[in-house]
Structure 1
Amino acid sequence: RPGNAPIGYVPQQRAFDPDLPIRGRDLVGFGLNGHRWGVTVRPEGVRKRVDGILRRLDAARYADAPVGRLSGGEQQRLRIAQALVGDPTILLCDEPLLSLDLNFQQVIVQVITDWNRTRGATVIFVTHDINPLLSAVDRILLLAGARWAAGSPDEILTSETLSRVYGLPVEVLRHRGRVLVVGAELGGHEPVLAAHEDVIG
């Protein structure tokens, strides 16, 4: 839950009510004290942490904006800032790159990768699009119904492994560091990607 500092969570994106009377800074601050009921006066140190993570994610300009009036990508930056502001040791990200342009996807992946490597944090991604994250992960857990596969990206992202797990003929093509999966409709199954300090650190 928000305010549980050891665990940071980026939920799947849902638009906020346009009339929600919460500023960007308030939303991010819930990552530190969201477990408390009611409006709280945050100490100066808390404000500095919130402002610091907003700057790091190039989101400082949204600090005083009503979150409901921001675009989907702008709201997503604030959700990621909220997840990181508590300096979590475990970071759970459910489709964290939705609504973000390609440039900012790279910024977010780099920030989260740095978090993993410098703080020894464990990071788990759930995503449909693995390409922006391939440079940041060392383990993949692929789930498709009752079938699964786990291993390194090189072990999992092969035609043989994907065809076995999905039960369909799948071809994996690689070009300039990107992976293209070609085959029948895969039914919306998602790979779970992980970066852990024991492997990456």
Structure 2
Amino acid sequence: MAKESDASVQPSVREPVIRLRDAELRFGDRVLWHDLDLDVSPGEFVAVLGPNGTGKTSLLKVLLGQNTLSTGSAEVSGRRVHSGNSAIGYIPQQRGIDPHTPMRGRDLVRMGIDGHRWGTGLFSRGRKKKVDELLASVGAQDYADAPAGTLSGGELQRLRVAQALANDPSVLLCDEPLLSLDMHHQKVVAALLHEQRVRRGTSVVFVTHEINPILPYVDRILYIVGGHFLIGTPSEVMTTESLSRLYGSPVEVVRVGGRLVVVGGEEECVNHHVHSDEFDPERGAI
């Protein structure tokens, strides 16, 4: 049974890539989450779920060194979190690129290697070989030289995965990278991330509203609601009993056509297959 708020993590013979202890994040009087203890092992795939505004993206920002914990500690690869950490690869939400931009697909990937010093050593043989290897690893060779603004959402996300892997990070932080992709490309990108983490031993922390495309690959789930959370395997967390206790109101988890559907009462829908258009304070005022 998954534990609430004081959930213990599973022991690992390897040192965790991510370690949070007694972590609390608040903005003013609002506590997003507290007493969070979490270890993420090398190669582990952790999904972060919950309604809008509960602190999912804010958790990624803590690990990126962009948000500071109110209390507690956070480490990545044995070091206190800090901005510009090369041990972290970051994959943002799918978003378009101006169709008139002169940037090619390979230029987007190369920014993962030398984006901080654009214009230095762009044509070095070593960098070109590295970019070609990254493009091949995500199956993007065919459109590597196409204008980035003409590529589909799925093609762009492949390139962003390659970009995030450019410095061989020990952890990938993914902020709803499947958003706005059709079901086919959701599955393709999810499988690609799984393939890369198996091949490289890279840990994945994956914020999402849609659990089904990644469900076959998820080891554990961190589910955050109203300052409380559950940590456990999908079979422990994604149950009617567990989520009803977490939400403090009746929630039903059912399987429909092999997909998980999570629904609440009339006043609150927690269906993870419908993306809310409401204002999300994680990407707005907070």
TM-score, normalised to structure 1, is 0.81
Per the alignment, residue 270 of structure 2 pairs with 186
What is the CA deviation profile of residues 11-38 of structure 1, one whole-angstrom value per residue up to 9, with x for unaligned ones? Answer: 1122222222211101101111122143
Distance 1:115 1:76, change over 3 A: closer
Query: Secondary structure of 2:262's match?
Result: strand
Per the alignment, residue 27 of structure 1 pairs with 108
Separation of aligned partners in 2, 1:56 and 1:82: 11
- What is the letter of the counterpart of residue 27 of structure 1? L
Per the alignment, residue 224 of structure 2 pairs with 143
Distance 1:154 1:186, change over 3 A: same
Distance 1:13 1:106, change over 3 A: closer
Residue 72 of structure 1 deviates from its aligned partner by: 2.5
Residue 6 of structure 1 deviates from its aligned partner by: 2.1
- Shifted more, 135-144 versus 83-92: the winner is 83-92
Pair 1:14 & 2:95 matched: yes
Q: Which has the larger radius of gyration?
A: 2
Per the alignment, residue 61 of structure 2 pairs with none
Separation of aligned partners in 1, 2:146 and 2:248: 48
8 Å Cα contact 1:76-1:99 kept in structure 2: no
Query: Secondary structure of 2:149's match?
Result: helix
Distance 1:187 1:138, change over 3 A: closer
Residue 74 of structure 1 deviates from its aligned partner by: 2.3
Residue 39 of structure 1 deviates from its aligned partner by: 5.5
Distance 1:183 1:128, change over 3 A: same
Per the alignment, residue 203 of structure 2 pairs with 122
Query: Secondary structure of 2:253's match?
Result: strand
- Shifted more, 136-145 versus 63-72: the winner is 63-72
Pair 1:77 & 2:152 matched: no
What is the CA deviation profile of residues 55-108 of structure 1, one whole-angstrom value per residue up to 9, with x for unaligned ones? Answer: 332322221122122232322222122112322111111112234443443333
Per the alignment, residue 68 of structure 1 pairs with 149
Unaligned runs of 5+ in 1: 191-201
Aligned counterpart in structure 2 of residue 172 of structure 1, from 226, 235, 253:
253
Q: Among all aligned residue pairs of Structure 1 and Structure 2, give the percentage whose two residues are the same amino acid.
A: 54
Distance 1:157 1:87, change over 3 A: same
8 Å Cα contact 1:80-1:96 kept in structure 2: no
Residue 179 of structure 1 deviates from its aligned partner by: 1.3
- Shifted more, 165-174 versus 103-112: the winner is 103-112
Pair 1:43 & 2:124 matched: yes
1:91-106 counterparts in 2 under 5 A?
91-106=172-187
8 Å Cα contact 2:219-2:233 kept in structure 1: yes
Separation of aligned partners in 1, 2:239 and 2:271: 18
Q: Which has the higher contact order (CA 8 A, sep 6+)?
A: 2
Separation of aligned partners in 1, 2:201 and 2:152: 32
Distance 1:78 1:7, change over 3 A: same
8 Å Cα contact 1:4-1:35 kept in structure 2: no
TM-score, normalised to structure 2, is 0.59
Write 1 or 2 for the structure with the bigger share of helix. 1
Separation of aligned partners in 1, 2:112 and 2:139: 18
Aligned counterpart in structure 1 of residue 133 of structure 2, from 45, 52, 64:
52
Residue 177 of structure 1 deviates from its aligned partner by: 4.5
- Shifted more, 102-111 versus 163-172: the winner is 102-111
